[in-house]
């Protein structure tokens, strides 16, 4: 892995942000793209947020990209490009929490601070047979304490990366091959037969259903309308098409009668069709989006509020969009 070949704090920081809640296989191409496009923290700081989000497109948890950019500007402009060099100071950076601060401090500055990520929770909970839920306040404190106690003092960078890799390759979530594990003679959960039930994690959230009705304007077959998502919620600062969200499935008439469409132009000057009757169900970890796309062909410029902008269709790929819309754009516009 390329981030194992450097101790440049910029690259270690970048790799750790990308890898938060993200598998190495998914994050690696993004790491390569970011280091290519932005070789230094100054290059990243000088970019527009929209460009950063575009390069981040598809990786999810977009607050990571926004915080990444904010922190890059802070380090480039206020700290003159010099990263904080301790766990305590790193922790103050936006988007850098306990795990990431420990990772950077140990890998770049040889500080003896343990990383406690999903892998480490699993290894420690099994080896010491600890059933405290890893996502409870108590569990977080308990595992951090244990991690500090058992941490090797000599090579913190190697130790931290090793215990994570041990969790990823040997002490795997499913079907760990304990018979060949080098720790099997002292692993408490293996002795007690609790390996498959550890680590303990508290309840999962209920998934919410939402209905997204996207309006795809085709003005003279050359322009379309998009707007940026603002405020709270999913996909903050990414772009999307004008959206009618509803509590339930709606019919074509509902969309045609909706004020967004009614006020945009007269019914006689447009033609509304459904792209695909079948819902496109986009699954996020906490909500399912039942999505339909409505194609609105017209020769007149629609009157929409100031948050919307009309753009040439051949420029649509320059805007950061969620995967759901990226897939639609690929299949519908074929650009």
Partner DNA sequence: AACGCGGGGGG
Partner DNA sequence: CCCCCAGCGTT
Interface with DNA by CB under 7 A: which residues?
Answer: 1, 3-4, 15-16, 19-26, 58-63, 67, 93-101, 117-119, 121-122, 136-138, 161, 164-165, 167-168, 173-175, 201-202, 204-205, 232-236, 282-287, 322-324
Phi, psi for 102 (deg, rounded to 5): -65, -40
CB of 67 to DNA, least distance (A): 6
List, in sequence order, every residue forming a beta bridge with 194; answer none if it has no partner.
Answer: none
Per the residue annotation, which of 5, 16, 245, 256 is the catalytic one? 16
Instruction: Report CA-CA distances (Å) from 190 to 128, 164, 200.
Output: 10, 19, 15
List, in sequence order, every residue forming a beta bridge with 243; answer none if it has no partner.
Answer: 214
Nearest residue (CB) to DNA, 156 versus 302 = 156
Residue with tokens 């509803």: 246
Nearest residue (CB) to DNA, 245 versus 257 = 245
Reduce the DSSP state of residue 320 to 3 states and report it. Answer: coil
CA angle 300, 301, 307 (to 5 degrees): 160
CB of 98 to DNA, least distance (A): 5
Phi, psi for 2 (deg, rounded to 5): -60, -30
Strands 208-219 and 287-298: parallel
CB of 72 to DNA, least distance (A): 14
Nearest residue (CB) to DNA, 13 versus 296 = 13
CB of 88 to DNA, least distance (A): 14
List, in sequence order, every residue forming a beta bridge with 64; answer none if it has no partner.
Answer: none
The closest of 276, 272, 313 to 296, measured between CA atoms, is 272
CB of 143 to DNA, least distance (A): 12
Nearest residue (CB) to DNA, 184 versus 287 = 287
Nearest residue (CB) to DNA, 11 versus 270 = 11
253 is a catalytic site residue: no
The closest of 213, 289, 221, 290 to 257, measured between CA atoms, is 213
Instruction: Report CA-CA distances (Å) from 317 to 63, 240, 272, 314.
Output: 21, 12, 24, 7
- Read off the DSSP letter of residue 66: H
Annotated catalytic sites, by residue? 16
């Amino acid at each position: 892995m390329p981030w194992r070949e450097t101790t440049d704090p910029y690259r270690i920081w970048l790799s750790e942000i990308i890898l938060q809640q993200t598998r190495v296989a998914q994050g690696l191409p993004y790491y390569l793209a970011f280091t290519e496009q932005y070789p230094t923290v100054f290059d990243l700081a000088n970019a527009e947020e929209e460009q950063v989000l575009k390069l981040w497109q598809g990786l999810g948890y977009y607050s990571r990209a926004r915080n990444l950019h904010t922190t890059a500007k802070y380090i480039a402009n206020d700290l003159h490009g010099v990263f904080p060099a301790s766990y305590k100071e790193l922790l103050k950076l936006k988007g850098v929490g306990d795990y990431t601060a420990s990772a950077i401090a140990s890998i770049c500055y040889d500080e003896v601070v343990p990383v406690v990520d999903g892998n480490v929770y699993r290894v420690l909970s099994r080896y010491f047979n600890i059933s405290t839920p890893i996502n409870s306040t108590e569990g977080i404190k308990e595992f951090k304490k244990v991690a500090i106690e058992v941490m090797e003092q000599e090579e913190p960078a190697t130790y931290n990366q090793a215990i994570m890799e041990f969790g990823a390759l040997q002490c795997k979530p499913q079907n760990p091959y304990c018979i060949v594990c080098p720790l099997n003679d002292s692993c408490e959960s293996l002795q007690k037969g609790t390996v498959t039930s550890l680590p303990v994690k508290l309840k999962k959230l209920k998934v919410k259903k939402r209905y997204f009705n996207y309006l795809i304007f085709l003005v003279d077959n050359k322009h379309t309308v998009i707007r940026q998502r603002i405020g709270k919620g999913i996909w903050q600062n990414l772009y999307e098409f004008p959206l009618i969200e509803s509590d339930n499935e709606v019919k074509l008439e509902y969309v045609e009668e909706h004020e967004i469409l009614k006020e945009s132009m007269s019914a006689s000057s447009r033609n509304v069709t459904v792209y695909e009757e079948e819902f496109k169900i986009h699954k996020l970890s906490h909500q399912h989006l039942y999505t339909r796309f409505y194609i609105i062909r017209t020769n007149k410029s629609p009157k929409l509020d100031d948050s919307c902008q009309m753009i040439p269709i051949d420029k649509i790929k320059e805007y950061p969009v969620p995967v759901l819309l990226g897939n639609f754009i690929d299949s519908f516009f074929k650009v």
